[in-house]
A and B are shown apart, each in its own frame.
Chain A
Amino acid sequence: MTLLSIRDLSIALPVGADRLYAAKDINFDLAPGEILCIVGESGSGKSMSANAVMGLLPQGVRPDKGSITFDGQSILGLSEKEMLKLRGSRISMIFQEPLSALNPLMRVGAQIAEVFEAHGALTGAERRARALKLLEEVGIPDPEAAIRAYPFQLSGGQRQRVMIAMALALEPDILIADEPTTALDVTTQAQILKLIEDLRRKRGMAVIFITHDFGVVADIADRVIVMKKGEIVEAGPAQEVLLKPQHPYTRALIDAIPRLTQTDAPEQVERKPLLKVEGLQKTFSTGSGTLFGKRRVVKAVQDVSFDLYAGETIGIVGESGSGKSTVGRCLVRLLDPDGGRVLMDGVDIADMSGADLRAQRRKLQMIFQDPFSSLNPRARVSRILTEGLIAYGTPEKEAKAKARELLELVGLDESAMKRFPHEFSGGQRQRIGIARALALEPSIIIADEAVSALDVSIQAQVLDLLAELKTRLNLSMLFITHDLRVAARICDRIIVMQKGQIVEAGPVSKVLHDPDTAYTRSLLDAIPGQEYERALAQAE
């Protein structure tokens, strides 16, 4: 029995887009209670295909041919009014960004009640009671408080639970989940995946799960569809696609997954600390504590100490809010630490200022997470790369020559100099970000979630590039990430942070395979796709 069946569906893009079809000749069926994963990199058309089922395609994008049949009814022919009846009641959807997906000005309870209102179900008081029950069902700790809360008062994971509660309100037959865990950290991701799995089992609801993460696929999928540039390249039961991929593209994607077990023996590094961090402290407070506002204090970094040796890569891992990014920002002095010492070659840079700080600062450079917002959109690449050099007194001509060398070093063509950031893909932009960081010939690179926003195959390329540059230029690196797989791939040592403090530190093989603390253990357990990884290792 099939619940949803898509036949020869093609979705046309507006004239002038980079290709004719967002998705072409899509065919698949969905059975009740089944979890179907659609995997692909950004731009593969996976979201568009799912949006077409909801009738929620962006303006100018429309289904060109083919059919979508839901419960015996052809969806593409339905009027907007008939679609409204399906949306939210029989097919519902959750999205990637749980913060922006909720109306910031409405209370959570009202946003859930709205679903009933839209479909004329229940009365006022019943709606509230039902919303409360839903919040309880999706595992929100204090439903009574949450129902009155505004979205910004909830954590990322809780917001996604609210989204799920909303989607489940009218017990839909199909839940479409568009990258629902991509923006969450690993432990929260594990909880949300478990929740979706439980609900599916309890309610016999079918799920279309869109993701780019094969680990997630391995943990929850019954069947898998792999998409590339708008076309399905491979489809089949999860076990088959994951363990015996037929198409070379699928194989390449699977090979690109960073393996936890793939830890190289740490290189023999010179035992000379390049950077010594001693008792670093940073406290954030909002409000002045006087008549003008209540004071709120967050101890973001508490008493953090570690040494970074020449040629070494340390990974700082932790959940969001653990203070790992704050540490990085304090070191490059984007934030001023409240206490402690940061010794660079024996000089304390923690409370330097003015010319002294500027002189030291070029030795520490940073690579940021978002390759889209970390480059000035109005500046050409040549300016992005030479700006720092010129600020430190390099003549413009020399700086330009240097910029060209850097582009070659990060694997980009010289012609990139004249172009603007928006003309590059995410991976290429991150390469520009790396070139910019290297321009000042730093001895230490601080990479803050540098590959988290990239597709897995691009991520692998950028990680390889970083590893290669590190050996070639004898760099030390501080690699801040929430992704333990990535940390395993590139780091020599790992520091685990929780609530502003270091809970564990040690060599990669020790921390990832034989951790001392329960917290690290829980982080490791939350990594998706571990069984799959073992199965893969056995198959090889």
Chain B
Amino acid sequence: MIRFILGRLIKAVFILLAILVFNFLLIHAAPGDPAAVMAGEAGAADEKFLADLRARFGLDQPLYMQLWLYIKGAVQLDLGYSFRQQMPVAEMIGDRLPATLLLTGVAFVLSLVLGVTAGVAASARQGRWGDTIISTFALLFYATPLFWVALMATLVFSVWLEWLPGFGYSTIGAGYTGMAHVLDVAKHLVLPATTLGLFFTAIYMRMTRASMLEVSRLDFVKTARAKGLTRGVIQRRHILRNALLPVITLAGLQAGQIFGGAILTETVFAWPGIGRLMFEAINQRDYNVILGVFYISAAMVLLFNLITDVIYVIVDPRIRLTT
């Protein structure tokens, strides 16, 4: 097991490096000169000022030199300097990361738990009313655009009912500490996390339902029935465990995606996370910030994939004992 994780980690490092180089080249292939943008915004754009700017940020060096310096920095977790915000990129990301991890983490767990539960419930009532109702809701969430759900949720729960705050991470200026702060953040978290999780809930529900029905037709389920086990035990112990395997694969793939999907939700709910940081950075052509966010996102996707594989290995003995 340790050998397996170690092997995967070594592979991950190489993949991460490749992504780093690729992102760097991609950004530099895009038209537009950050120095010109900055100079333009500053209002002064003579040649000397531009050359100064370029020299200050190393933009006058040949591309391979810039790449080398960037990689050297990235390995030491120095992601460069944001010209716009006058701050190290690593520090900016460090400020925003916890909020994003909180949001996506809660949304992910929520969607997984809700989705699997609803899927099991639907499969147990296949073709009957309960199944139809659950499946209809899933289809609705699946088909509705995220931003619309977000806006409607704000309108209903925040503006009309005034139950929950509609934006932000915490109440500004309230100065809560301890439990009061936690509760405050939790309140702010409800709408964005639910919005972000709904779509995935629908996907997990559909996947679980289909997988449960498929597994329930397999021979070993008949064996279990022949043993005289009750329906509930067969559902839990025999069908669900096997049906979860494809759901785990899917969840692992989407754990990375849910991270990217947070941009929209963070923007609508003014959640101070990585997604919004990136959105702002793209608007401002803040290359180092964009690269930094890409880098962290890639690392997260790799990490989630590794976690998925480890879970898979724990759950499925066929993989554990043959690789």
Give chain A residues whose Cβ lies under 8 Å from the Cβ of B3: 291
Q: Are A166 and B317 touching (Cβ within 8 A)?
A: no
Chain B nearest CB from A504 CB (Å) reads: 33
**Interface: B283 (CB within 8 A):** no
Q: Are A88 and B242 touching (Cβ within 8 A)?
A: no
**Interface: A95 (CB within 8 A):** yes
Q: Are B230 and A84 touching (Cβ within 8 A)?
A: yes
Tell me, in angstroms, the Cα distance from A116 to B219 when the chains sit together. 20
Tell me, in angstroms, the Cα distance from A277 to B242 when the chains sit together. 45
**Contact flag A292-B7 (CB < 8 Å), given A87-B228, A104-B242, A115-B228:** yes
Max chain A C-beta neighbours (<10 A), residue from B219, B228, B321:
B228
Tell me, in angstroms, the Cα distance from A364 to B91 when the chains sit together. 67
Q: Are B219 and A56 touching (Cβ within 8 A)?
A: no
Chain A, range 36-87, C-beta contacts under 8 Å to B = 54, 56, 84-87
**Contact flag A86-B226 (CB < 8 Å), given A104-B318, A105-B317:** no
Q: Are A87 and B226 touching (Cβ within 8 A)?
A: yes
Q: Are B228 and A150 touching (Cβ within 8 A)?
A: no
Give chain B residues whose Cβ lies under 8 Å from the Cβ of A106: 237-238, 241
Q: Are B226 and A150 touching (Cβ within 8 A)?
A: no
Least CB separation from B6: chain A residue: A291
Q: Are B228 and A153 touching (Cβ within 8 A)?
A: no
Give chain B residues whose Cβ lies under 8 Å from the Cβ of A95: 219, 222-223
Q: Mark A223-255, 1 if CB is under 8 A from B, else 0.
A: 000000000000000000000000000000000
Tell me, in angstroms, the Cα distance from A292 to B3 when the chains sit together. 7
Q: Are A115 and B242 touching (Cβ within 8 A)?
A: no
Give chain B residues whose Cβ lies under 8 Å from the Cβ of A119: 228
Chain A nearest CB from B198 CB (Å) reads: 30
Tell me, in angstroms, the Cα distance from A293 to B4 when the chains sit together. 7
Q: Mark B194-228, 1 if CB is under 8 A from A, else 0.
A: 00000000000000000000000011101111111
Q: Are B222 and A118 touching (Cβ within 8 A)?
A: no
Chain A, range 142-166, C-beta contacts under 8 Å to B = 150, 152-153, 163, 166
Give chain A residues whose Cβ lies under 8 Å from the Cβ of B229: 84, 88, 114, 118
Q: Are B219 and A88 touching (Cβ within 8 A)?
A: no
Give chain A residues whose Cβ lies under 8 Å from the Cβ of B228: 84-89, 115, 118-119
Chain A, range 107-122, C-beta contacts under 8 Å to B = 114-115, 118-119
Give chain B residues whose Cβ lies under 8 Å from the Cβ of A293: 7, 323
Q: How many residues of A contact B (CB 8 A)?
A: 35
Q: Are B223 and A150 touching (Cβ within 8 A)?
A: no
Least CB separation from B218: chain A residue: A100
Q: How many residues of B contact A (CB 8 A)?
A: 28
**Interface: A137 (CB within 8 A):** no
Give chain B residues whose Cβ lies under 8 Å from the Cβ of A192: none
Q: Are A87 and B225 touching (Cβ within 8 A)?
A: yes
**Interface: A101 (CB within 8 A):** yes
Point out the residue from B7, B220, B226, B233 that lies within 8 Å of A88, measured CB to CB.
Answer: B226
Q: Are A103 and B226 touching (Cβ within 8 A)?
A: no
The SS class assigned to the B binding surface is: helix
**Interface: A124 (CB within 8 A):** no
Q: Are B220 and A100 touching (Cβ within 8 A)?
A: yes
Tell me, in angstroms, the Cα distance from A115 to B323 when the chains sit together. 32
**Interface: B42 (CB within 8 A):** no
**Interface: A286 (CB within 8 A):** yes
Q: Are A115 and B227 touching (Cβ within 8 A)?
A: yes
**Interface: A97 (CB within 8 A):** yes
Q: Are B227 and A150 touching (Cβ within 8 A)?
A: no
Tell me, in angstroms, the Cα distance from A56 to B228 when the chains sit together. 11
Give chain B residues whose Cβ lies under 8 Å from the Cβ of A93: 223, 226
Tell me, in angstroms, the Cα distance from A104 to B320 when the chains sit together. 13
Q: Are B238 and A103 touching (Cβ within 8 A)?
A: yes
Chain B, range 157-212, C-beta contacts under 8 Å to A = none
**Interface: A287 (CB within 8 A):** yes
**Contact flag A118-B233 (CB < 8 Å), given A95-B222, A103-B224:** yes
**Interface: A494 (CB within 8 A):** no
Least CB separation from A152: chain B residue: B318
Max chain A C-beta neighbours (<10 A), residue from B7, B233, B238, B317:
B317
Chain B, range 245-298, C-beta contacts under 8 Å to A = none
Tell me, in angstroms, the Cα distance from A166 to B224 when the chains sit together. 10
Point out the residue from A88, A89, A153 that lies within 8 Å of B321, measured CB to CB.
Answer: A153
Give chain A residues whose Cβ lies under 8 Å from the Cβ of B226: 54, 56, 87-88, 92-93, 167
Least CB separation from A286: chain B residue: B322
Give chain A residues whose Cβ lies under 8 Å from the Cβ of B10: 291
Tell me, in angstroms, the Cα distance from A35 to B224 when the chains sit together. 24
**Contact flag A103-B220 (CB < 8 Å), given A286-B322, A287-B323:** yes
Least CB separation from B320: chain A residue: A150
Least CB separation from B230: chain A residue: A84
Least CB separation from B127: chain A residue: A59
Chain B nearest CB from A537 CB (Å) reads: 39
Tell me, in angstroms, the Cα distance from A114 to B237 when the chains sit together. 10
What are 10 A-B contacts defined by CB distance under 8 Å?
A84-B228, A88-B229, A92-B226, A95-B222, A105-B241, A106-B237, A118-B227, A150-B318, A291-B3, A291-B10
Q: Which 3 A-B pairs have the closest CB atoms?
A: A88-B228, A87-B228, A88-B227
| Apart from the given pairs A104-B318, A105-B242, 13 other A-B contacts in the complex at a CB distance below 8 Å | A87-B226, A87-B227, A88-B229, A101-B223, A103-B224, A105-B241, A105-B317, A106-B241, A118-B227, A118-B229, A118-B233, A119-B228, A293-B7
